[in-house]
A and B are shown apart, each in its own frame.
Chain A
Amino acid sequence: MNALTAFSLWTQRNRWIWAAIGVLLLWLVLSIVTNRFSLSSLSGIILSASFLTIVGIGQMFVVTTGRGNIDLSVASVITLSAFVALLTIKGQDANLAIGGAAAILLGLAVGALNSLLVVVLGIPAIIATLATGYVLATATLLSNRAISGFSVSPALKYLASGRISGVPIMAVIAISGVAATSFVLRYTVFGQLLSAVGQNRTAARLAAIRTGPVIASAFIISSVLASLNGLLLGAYIGGAFLEMGQPYLLQSIAAVVLGGTLIFGGSATAVGTLFASILLILIVTTMQIIGLPPGAQDIVQGVVVIFVLALAGRQAMTRRAPVEPTDGDAAMSAGDRQS
């Protein structure tokens, strides 16, 4: 009993464990049911998950700023960035630096625009990023027309799909990114400020935290990561096509929530996002193996997101309920409504 409570306390602090357990179980089941599953097929899954992880980490920063903030422009940024990469690199390794710079610039510009709308003008993040996404969609259409042909620089191709002794390079990139993010969140002032802003923005402001720059940096990180991801994803699939970023919209949010980052903000876990990304890709792969039609795959993903949220919503509610009776007025307040 005591060990059980100790474990439940530990899982409360380490919510990523659930996604990790999910990965382990699903993988075990899959390898037993189908004999085809091996370590090498897992490495393929991890390669796909790496792309999702990179977007997911960015999304996680935005979600952690609280008040239901979500970056809905990531899908358009990924697509546009893949097109921009084609246009700037033109299949030549020599142009790689320009392409990388263009991708980062694109991310910075979109992130800055989102921050301007959200932080300075006070437009709700969902609407602001949705609108930015629409503007980017037109940019994508225009660059689609400007494309002469698909060719990918060999170096970038190697980065996106190569392996070093069986380990995908992308996985190394994603895992180092996760490690760096974990460090930033846990051991830097910025990580603490981000968490404070996400938990209680008014309290953060009154504690002399400049909330604007903190929130803005989260949006910029998200856009830059999405843009870099678009660059690599384009190299991986060997080109670019309209709507190529679309699946990453829901999946990145799902990865964040499934991984144990609180949807209400204030607490993030990069490791959880990594495991949840692998879990989501595993689920999609499983559905493909079973042979479900694409429509059914959409349905399963939607159901997973709603189901996990419904469970997590309960958790957050009970944990946030004031334990303290002397402060009467908070006990029955309707919770942290956006205002």
Chain B
Amino acid sequence: MSQSAVADQDRAAAKVPAAPIGQSVVSLTGITKSFGPTLANTGIDLCVGAGDVIGLVGGNGAGKSTLMRILCGAMWPTLGSISFAGEHVNFADYGTAEAQRRGIRMVHQELSLCANLSVAENFFLETPQDAATRPGWRTVYKARARAALDAVFPGNGIDADAEVGHLSIAERQMVEIARAAATPGVRLIVLDEPTSSLDLDRSKQLRAFIRERAKAGLAFIFISHKLQEIIDIATEIVVLRNGRTAWQGQVADASIGRLVQLMGGDANPVHQHAVSAASAQDVLVRLSGPLTSELGRDIEIVRGEIVGLAGLEGSGQKELLHRIFSPDRKQNSEVTRHAQAGFIAGDRQKEGVFPLWSVLGNISIGALARRPALGLVSDRANREMAAGAAGKLRLDDSRFQSNITELSGGNQQKALVARALVADTPIILLDDPTRGVDIATKQDFYRLCNEIARSGRALVWHTTEDAELLACDRVLVFAGGRIVRELTGDAITESAVVGASFAQPADRLAAARDKDAPATRLGRRLVDAAPFIGLAAVLAVMVSANPAVASIFGLDLLLMPALSLVLVTAAQMFIVGGSEIDLGVGAFAGLVSVLSATLLYDQPWLGALALAGALAAYAGLGGVIQARKIPAIVVTLGASFIWVGLGYALQPTPGGASPEWLSALFSWSLGFVPTSIILIAAVALIVFVIDRLPLGVVLRGFGNNPTAMIRSGWSPTRYALVRYLIAGLFAGAAGLSLTAINTASDINSGNSFTLLSVAAVVMGGCSLLGGIISPVGAVAGAVTLSLIGALLGTLNVSSDFNAATQGLILIALLTLRSLTADRRSEQ
């Protein structure tokens, strides 16, 4: 194994063009990027030579991300140019795919892996050109993933077949770094905060790897807030500040102090707040149970103190904030809260702002949320209330009418603090509030926190910037989901926090999670088996009522009508795999049926042309949905009217005839197996094969994480077209089968398939969130559902109950699924 790894690494190294050290790889000149009135980048020059390791530093909002996006082709600058080894490239022709072709890879801070795919498949997404459409193409990527991981992080123990969703954050980070480093032809790797979730050993391994590869001519841009790492690894340092280059020079001329100064002054919060208020021993929050078992005592948070939550990212700090915000109502819960709590989110876009509203609206909702729903709202009262809070924050109330998104990150954050102030809660929870905030605002912010605490409130503050912890009275250090250390007063130092974070093995949380009820796991397995159990039960009932069903002829008679639904289900499954739903798929099958029984029968050429046209229109719909980012449900619902309308116009009443060759396609017989079973199995097999092809992996990737796919250079519109084309082919086949089986057509014959196909897909185990294709389960589900009518007939129940039975089955399944699924994805 290790030998092949070494060989592979050599090969990868050999693919790097023998660029003499120092030769220019890429250079950006005069990059300026404006967003409306604000300039994110102003005249920045950046030249990267082979073998350079450039440390890129700057406060949040200094323009690093924008610059790197431009470099990677994810964004075009307003002004400026880019050139590769002296060759000028027009930005109009420069996108993520072109950047990749030219050997630029970026490892993003928020990771860009598809969690529903295996490690090896994620490697494939980055370098698809080596995949051949033949069985076993995965082994190439498995070997490459193995080798790449071992080359960067020896002894990592990550399985190349493991689903990425099951890996820890640190492991995902390692996969992503290895993936970028292993890309053949790579010349420059941009690492954005690569060590934020790695422990010290892994971080050292990474730096050793960078040093070694840089000697071979590979260039790196290393972005980190950990300045000692930058000094350690970089050959050259670029400091950005307010979108401009503040300093650029050799690492020998830099020191941590100097860099901090260049980035915009002293970011260290001064601790002004003594715990004098702690004399008011008024407990607001109590933490106990397993959460605090490492400390051996409960933790009480009292009025007037600032409590910091520290530890590696994802060790349970955020969870604690949310548990304090909405505690379990159960008795002897680990977290109990004795007063109301307000929340200030740091991820403003996702968790903070209401983007349609003005600043005033965003502030006053804090108070409105705690009023009775039928109360009246007065603009003047809102304004007076907000003005008071804004005054404390030095937030200019002349901007109250501006839309919140027009404010800078710092001012948006002030508005969110104002929201918490007007809500006037004794407890305020802060979730990394200074993310993306400039240093001047940060200083304001620390001062404000002190004031708030002194006014008798308790602040619980989760931060990812260790330096900020110095502003706290007390720091709780997390590891593996538990509090492992409590630091107070002078004991709070960055090194003490870091030391405690790594002190505990990180597998505690995993162990705790594994514990979660075997009953749940059994339930989940039952739900997964539901389509098969259902099918077996339905068949058993029918055979016991009428033994003739078990004959070949009987089965064929029963299952042939199911074929059309199976085909529509296959179509729907690909749409659902892309996290959309098609409400027009049944109508489309109906239209194809009408076309084949009328035009195709009378004038084969015209008919074939019309079918091709319908298919193109269907695929085009997918393109429109993707390109305009509009909800697929409404579009396909609208389209269903178009399909039905076309069908009516062609054939106002049921009729027509099936072309002979088409009937022949569905009426051959092998004698010993029912034809319908062969055809249904063939559909499942075709879906399975498509899904296992590289194409299927790409489609599933888009269903799970489209952002990551776009970053890897895949075109979303093209694959939306492909997805709908495949679905259209299956739905079209369903339409043809309707004509052949009924030997006539009716535009309404496919209508009932729409909901049934969604139900079958859900029964089959696909998630409506997308990214999962499960051919066998969905086909079994489709067959079961289509047998419901016959089953009710066997049981002498009126066919009126058909729809209700199908609807109830869908509701029951979704209910079971939501009860057994882990609820993490819901938030």
Contacts and interface: CB of A to CB of B under 8 A. Distances in A.
Nearest to B373: A190
A313 B629 contact: yes
22 contacts: A117-B811, A127-B762, A130-B755, A134-B806, A135-B808, A196-B365, A199-B357, A203-B353, A207-B423, A214-B373, A264-B631, A305-B638, A309-B635, A313-B629, A326-B408, A326-B409, A326-B410, A326-B436, A329-B109, A329-B110, A330-B350, A337-B706
Contacts of A257: 634
Given A327-B349, A334-B707, A196 B354 contact: yes
B579 A338 contact: yes
Interface in A239-295: 249-250, 253-254, 257, 262-264, 266-267, 293-295
A310 interface: yes
B768 A327 contact: no
A326 B649 contact: no
Contacts of A302: 638-642, 645
Nearest to A206: B343
A166 interface: no
Contacts of B819: 121
Interface in A301-319: 301-306, 309-310, 312-314, 316-317
B280 interface: no
Interface string A103-136: 0000000000000010001111011101111110
Contact of B630 (A70, A192, A206, A309): A309
Interface in A199-228: 199-200, 202-204, 206-209, 213-214, 217
B377 A298 contact: no
Contacts of A199: 354-357
A195 interface: yes
Given A203-B353, A294-B648, 17 more contacts: A122-B818, A124-B768, A131-B810, A134-B803, A134-B806, A189-B376, A193-B369, A199-B357, A200-B351, A206-B343, A206-B352, A209-B369, A317-B628, A324-B406, A326-B40, A326-B408, A334-B710
B648 A328 contact: no
A206 B345 contact: yes
Contacts of B629: 313, 316-317, 335
The 5 closest A-B pairs by CB, nearest first: A295-B648, A298-B645, A134-B807, A328-B65, A138-B804
Nearest to A317: B629
B377 A325 contact: no
A133 B628 contact: no
B60 interface: yes
Interface in B626-664: 628-631, 633-635, 637-642, 644-650, 652
Nearest to B96: A332
Interface in A171-206: 186-193, 195-196, 199-200, 202-204, 206
Interface of B: 33, 35-36, 38-40, 60-61, 63-66, 69, 74-75, 109-110, 243, 325, 340, 342-343, 345, 348-357, 361, 365-366, 368-377, 403, 405-410, 412, 419, 423, 436, 438, 579, 581, 583, 624, 628-631, 633-635, 637-642, 644-650, 652, 706-707, 710, 755, 758-759, 762, 768-769, 800-808, 810-811, 814-815, 818-819, 823, 825-827
A293 to B, nearest CB: 6
Contacts of A267: 356
B419 A131 contact: no
A108 B825 CA distance: 30
Contacts of A202: 350-351, 827
A151 to B, nearest CB: 24
A189 to B, nearest CB: 4
B649 A293 contact: yes
A331 B75 contact: yes
A5 B109 CA distance: 40
Given A199-B355, A298-B645, A327 B436 contact: yes
Given A139-B804, A209-B369, A325-B66, A266 B354 contact: yes
A137 B804 contact: yes
Contact of A142 (B36, B581, B800): B800
B563 to A, nearest CB: 22
In this complex, which of B349, B624, B769 has the most chain A Cβ atoms within 10 angstroms of its Cβ?
B349
B634 A70 contact: yes
A320 interface: yes
Contacts of B353: 200, 203
Nearest to A121: B818
A206 B677 CA distance: 53
B61 A299 contact: no
